[in-house]
Every structure is written in C-alpha cells, then in structure tokens.
Chains A and B, each alone.
Chain A
Amino acid sequence: MIFKNLSYFKAVFFASLKADLEYRANFFMRVLIDVFWYLSQILTFEIIFNYSPNIGQWALPQMRFFLGVLFVIDALYTLLFHDNIDRISENIRKGELDFILTKPASSQFLISLQRVSTAVISNLLLSLAWLIWASLQLQTLTVTRMLILLITIPFSLLLIYSLRFLIATLSLIFIRAENVQYLWYQIYRLGMRPDQIYPSWLRRILFTILPVGLVASLPTQIILGFVSDWYLLLVIGLSYLFFKASQWFWAYALKHYSSASS
C-alpha cells in the first residue's frame, strides 16, 4: 500500500511539475509572493526586537529559529496540501469528487494529493536555509535536539493537515463552506506567533481544541529546552488523534454527499 501510494505520489509530482511549468509567469509569481510573505514575517519580529531585547522567554536568535521551524512546516504544507484542500469545496460543488470516489484508492488520499505545488519547492529550500542559519546562530543546539526537530516536523505537518482537512470536510455537509475556510486562516495565524504572547486561556485552547500552538510554537520550545521533552508526546499524540478524527469525519460526511446534478 505504502509503495503504491509513493509510486502515485511520484507520478503526481512529475505531472504537477509539467503542468506548473506551462505557466512560467504564474510559477515565478508564486515564488515571489511567498518570499515577500516570509520577509514580512521576519521583519515584523526584527523590528519588535529593535525596541526590546526579549519577548517573554524569547530572544532574537530563538525567535529566528522559531520562524525557521514555522517556515519549513508551512512550506511543506503548501507544497503538498494547501491548494488541494482549498479546492475541496469546488470539487464537491462541481461534482468532480465523483471521479475520486469511483477510484480504487483512499478518497481522502486522492483528494488531498490531487496536485503538488511544485513552485513552492524553491520556498522550501529558502526556508530550510533560514532554519539552518538560525540553528547555527543559536550555538546551543545539540545533535539530540536536532533529532527532536526531525521528529516533530512530520507530526506538526500531519497536525496542520488534519485540522485543515477537518474544516474542509464541512463542505460535504454544507456545500458552501467557504466562510469556514476564512475561520481557519484566522486560527492558523494564531499559530504563527509564539504562544507565550497570548493570555493563558487562549494558550490552553491553542494546545487542545484548536492545537495550532502545536504546529511550530511548542515544538520550538521543546527543542530550545523551554519546556520538558515530554511535551513531544503531546505533539505526536494529538497529531495522531486529529488525523484519525479527519479520517472518521471524512467517512461520516461522505454519507451526506449527494453529488452535483448532471
């Protein structure tokens, strides 16, 4: 099964690359827009740290490292899932889901990986470069800490995917659920800042019900030693739970699918 899925993913990757290269201007614009987004995120904190040496426990090098973790996870999510999940509502409304449901493979897998946004590869490389540079600036990162980083990135990616997919699945029940997507962007933005800047009630929410705090903020704190390593289990456990929830909810919501009229 895994081999078959990998083989399919490889085919989708190269098909996407061919399709993306058809529209060169769009390809380069996408890279450029994302680079500006990264720059705006970096500049926000660089400016704040011009006026204050610390935000809570965070000093500038640690904040740069946090942004590196966030950028890498975000680039991976955008590369693999972002466009596909954004399109689910349209897939449902236009009846394109019919073709996915009649294929002998997991419909969740197929709809989540319809295409790969290959233009984002360059952003992933830039993000990785920033993360490596920020890691070197810290000078305190050991091999064990880096190993924890390698473990947390896939789980953080799984968590962000599961949360987003859960919200997109609402389209199967409500057909028009675009507004819920905007709700997702607002929630996701909360995860783009270190959780310690938020009041404790909001942090509790961001670590449990809407765990975007677990996407980058908590993993960074584990690696930096701000919190106990045991919190790694929370990241892994909740990622797995939310992934299972996304599978269950997709299967449940498909019972409500009425398909578009022909």
Chain B
Amino acid sequence: MIVTKNLTRTYQSYTKAEGLSASIKGLWKRNTIEKSALLPTNLVINQGESIGLVGANGAGKTTLIKILSGLIYPTQGEVTVLGFTPHQRNPEFLRQIGVILGQKNQLWWDLSPNDSFALLEKIYNIPTVTRKARVDELAHWLNCEKLLTTQIRRLSLGERMKMEIIGALIHRPKILFLDEPTIGLDVLAQNKIRSFLELYIKNENPTLILTSHYMADISHLSKRLLLMSQGQIKYDGPIDKFIQSFDEKKHFYASFTEPVKYEIDLGFIKIPYEAVEISAEINAHQVTQAISTLLAHTQIKEIKIEERNFEDVMRQFFESQI
C-alpha cells in the first residue's frame, strides 16, 4: 500500500554573516547550505493501518506526509502509494487520498459549507445525490447538520474544522493524511473531533497517517507509532510497547501523618527533615524497597504509584533527543 525505499529530502537555504555589508555581498554571492529534512527512510504501511507520526518541530514528519501525499518531490529514493508515485499526481491516485491540514482552509470563506461541497462534487465527479447523502451521513456523525447552510466565516474554529473534515472525506478516500487536525481547538472541540475520527476509522477502515502534538490524538486514533527525530524514524511499533520499552519509570507519591524526624535516603530521593510529602520518578524495581523503608521510618498517610502516561514518556523522549 505505502512503500518507501531510502526516501530522502533535503532543502537548500542560504547563510550570510551579520550586518549590512554581508547583506549587500549576499546579492551576488551566497553560501548555499543543504539541510536534510528526511534521512534515508524505509517504510511499509499496510491497508487499514492507523499510523501516529510523532516528533518535535522540524523532526521531518510533515515532510514525510507531504511526500506521501504528492505535494513535494523527494530528493532521492523511491516511494509508492497505492501503486502510484505520489508526486506524479495521477488523478486516479489523488481521487483515493484525503488531506486535512490543521489551520488551513479549503472551503470558501463567504459561502456555506454546502455550496463548497457542491464544488468538490464537480472536482471528484461525484453524482449530486451521492454527495448529498455522504454529507448528511458525515454531518450526522459530527452532529453538525444545522451548520451546513451557514457561511463558513460565521462558524467557530471547531465548527469550521468539522466542515473541513467533511470536505476531505466527501469522496471516501482510501488513505487519509491528517496533519494536526485538532491544532488550536479547545479541549471540548478536540474531544469531539477525536471521537468522530475514532468512529470513522472503525466504520470505514481507511489507512490513516496522523501527525499531532496532542498525544491524546495519537493514542486514541493510532495503533502504530512512528517516532521521528532529526529526519529519522527512531521508533516504529505499537504505542504500548514503546511506553514499556522506553522506560519502566513510574510516578511515586507519599504523604505522612506527621513530619519526618530525620533525613531518609530512599536511593532515588532523599527525604529531608520535617517533610510531610514526597513526589518523584521511580524505577519499577525500587518500589518494594522504598515502601518497606518508609514503613520502617515514617507514619505513612497515603502512597500513590502511577503509571506514567504517553505524554510523559514522549516528553522525556524529546528531551533526550535535544
């Protein structure tokens, strides 16, 4: 379905020294530098897989999505999507993909969504009856039937995103590229979009390539994680396995009925004199020892040991990559 072999992309830019004289020199002489946005990447994605593409800004995830959707040319390597070379932009290929780009709009500002969908109907060559039925179906899932005749400019950001989603799914794409679909939305709107996408994936089983800075999007919507850093895929596998394999740390919290009478060394943290609570990261194998030490030396009020969530693990991963 999607296969890449040694896929790379470099961008050219210019450097110049500081100051006006350097700017003037730069008019006729420039130092060209090449920046690798994507290092040789080999990837196989099968029909119906949901991929969460995660990485810090500049990690190369948007570049990868743009190459796979045919928006930009790769510098080297091979790529086939649904048997097509994406950047050749064969209409048959483009008819089978859908693209949602957060914070970019394809629908007309001054028209109602229904008017814009009528234009998309012509581009995708869909019969009007089929288009109307499809829009009604998607609007029902998104619970936004009443907004279909309101001008886009009168809608809230969350409502506009719902309409953009309908526009991107109107032709039943086999592959869906979602680049930050919930960016800028409030928590409520994020949840609604996320729930809809979960339902959509379950019902229509498209291949999904999703990038998002919200880890909740990734963990809810994708099963396979592609973790990118500095143009390379650093991890490719199930999300659960990543959390387990990356680190076994847990969050440890303890509070005491009375202040501790002397300093206690737990190995991973020193509890200072007169402390009434502690909170720290702990390795799984240290838990038993820590509890028995605390039982022996303090009056425990409460102990909480929490699994770290996906967001925590991702944060730690990104910090380790800087």
Which A positions have Cβ atoms within 8 angstroms of B?
4, 7-8, 11-12, 15, 18-19, 22-23, 94-96, 98-99, 101-105, 107, 110, 255, 257-259, 261-262
Q: A15-B119, A103-B124 are in contact. List 17 more A-B contacts (CB 8 A).
A: A11-B118, A11-B119, A12-B119, A15-B108, A18-B111, A23-B110, A96-B106, A98-B66, A98-B101, A102-B71, A102-B99, A103-B94, A104-B94, A257-B71, A261-B62, A262-B102, A262-B103
User: Which residue of the partner chain, among B97, B121, B122, B180, contacts A102 with CB atoms under 8 Å?
Assistant: B97
- Give the number of A-B contacts (CB < 8 Å): 79
Distance in Å: Cβ of B183 to nearest Cβ of chain A: 8
Interface residues of B in 67-123 (CB under 8 A from A): 69-73, 89, 91-95, 97, 99, 101-104, 106, 108, 110-111, 115-116, 118-119, 121-123
Distance in Å: Cβ of A5 to nearest Cβ of chain B: 9
Q: Kindly state the separation between the CA atoms of A249 and B159 in the bound complex, as whole angstroms.
A: 39
Which B positions have Cβ atoms within 8 angstroms of A?
11, 62, 66, 69-73, 89, 91-95, 97, 99, 101-104, 106, 108, 110-111, 115-116, 118-119, 121-125, 151, 179-180
Does the CB pair B66–A259 fall under 8 Å? yes
Q: Kindly state the separation between the CA atoms of A94 and B109 in the bound complex, as whole angstroms.
A: 15
B66: A residues at CB distance < 8 A: 98, 259
In the complex, which residue of chain B has the Cβ closest to the Cβ of A99? B106
Does the CB pair B104–A98 fall under 8 Å? yes
In the complex, which residue of chain B has the Cβ closest to the Cβ of A100? B106
User: Which residue of the partner chain, among A15, A18, A102, A259, contacts B94 with CB atoms under 8 Å?
Assistant: A102
Most chain-A CB neighbours within 10 Å: which of B91, B93, B110, B121?
A: B110
Distance in Å: Cβ of A42 to nearest Cβ of chain B: 34
A110: B residues at CB distance < 8 A: 123
B121: A residues at CB distance < 8 A: 11
Q: Kindly state the separation between the CA atoms of A131 and B85 in the bound complex, as whole angstroms.
A: 50
Q: Kindly state the separation between the CA atoms of A4 and B73 in the bound complex, as whole angstroms.
A: 28
Please, could you name 19 A-B residue pairs with CB atoms under 8 Å apart, sorted by A? A4-B122, A8-B122, A8-B123, A11-B119, A11-B121, A15-B111, A18-B110, A22-B151, A94-B104, A98-B66, A98-B101, A102-B97, A104-B92, A104-B124, A105-B123, A257-B72, A259-B72, A262-B62, A262-B179
User: Which residue of the partner chain, among B89, B91, B104, B115, contacts A15 with CB atoms under 8 Å?
Assistant: B115
User: Which residue of the partner chain, among B71, B97, B110, B180, contacts A98 with CB atoms under 8 Å?
Assistant: B71
Q: Kindly state the separation between the CA atoms of A23 and B111 in the bound complex, as whole angstroms.
A: 12
Q: Kindly state the separation between the CA atoms of A102 and B95 in the bound complex, as whole angstroms.
A: 8
Does the CB pair B123–A15 fall under 8 Å? no
A104: B residues at CB distance < 8 A: 91-95, 123-124
Does the CB pair A101–B11 fall under 8 Å? no
Q: Kindly state the separation between the CA atoms of A22 and B70 in the bound complex, as whole angstroms.
A: 36
B123: A residues at CB distance < 8 A: 8, 103-105, 110
